[in-house]
Structure 1
């Protein structure tokens, strides 16, 4: 089975998901989205596959959330996606991709559904 994780090595949940996947005998492909964020099209595809609006994938506790006025409900989905890609710390994580689907794995046990 192939597993890809949009990963932040400083995130405890990302590390817990990585541990679960490795304990299942799978060495995943890690994408450090902080240094290599997905393209707009890739992000849109991930959101569509998760049936999730962009606003739901925002990390609202990041200082950039308020400084960039992302709490403004008039922001379009495109504006939100573009802002997340320009400021990847705003992307909630980890996002896990397998043949069984794509999920935001918070809490980390959600990854079990994909293995």
Structure 2
């Protein structure tokens, strides 16, 4: 089973879902805007991705620019910012077992299969 952190309004997220469906993958969809991850869940996702929390932030979002840009934040503060403002989380994120990828470009989601 593949877990997909999904925003149905995002074309890249919809494309990733379609690619996984075409591969016959069983998918657990997490609509993270409606049901944001906990601090621990997001920290685990970041660890699976093998990145720093700032690398998961959509830094071009107005929310980031107005409230966080230029501030010295700890990793935990960055994670908390994403939880409080889930639209800051880069998408889509696909997870299978101990492997995870950000689907940008979209085809990257196939790397975890």
TM-score by length of 1: 0.93
- State the Cα deviation string for residues 23-57 of structure 1 (Å, max 9, x = none): 01123110000011110001111111111111111
**SS of alignment partner, residue 51 of structure 2:** coil
- The 8 Å contact of residues 93 and 102 in structure 2, kept in 1 or not, is answered as yes
CA 1:101–1:49 in 2, change beyond 3 Å: closer, same or farther? same
2:50 maps to 51
Give 1:30-69 correspondences, 5 Å limit: 30-68=29-67
Give the deviation of 1:73 after TM superposition.
Answer: 4.7
Unaligned runs of 5+ in 1: none
Pairwise CA RMSD of aligned residues? 1.1
SS in 1 for 2:25: coil
Please list every run of 5 or more consecutive structure 2 residues that lacks an aligned counterpart in the other structure: none
Conserved? CA contact 1:100–1:114, under 8 Å: no
Q: 1:46-80: CA deviations, max 9, x gaps?
A: 11111111111110121101111x22251111111
Q: Distance in 2 between matches of 1:77 and 1:100?
A: 21
Q: After the TM superposition, which segments of 4 or more aligned residues of structure 1 sit over 4 Å from their partners?
A: none
TM-score by length of 2: 0.95
The 3-state SS of whatever aligns with 1:64 is helix
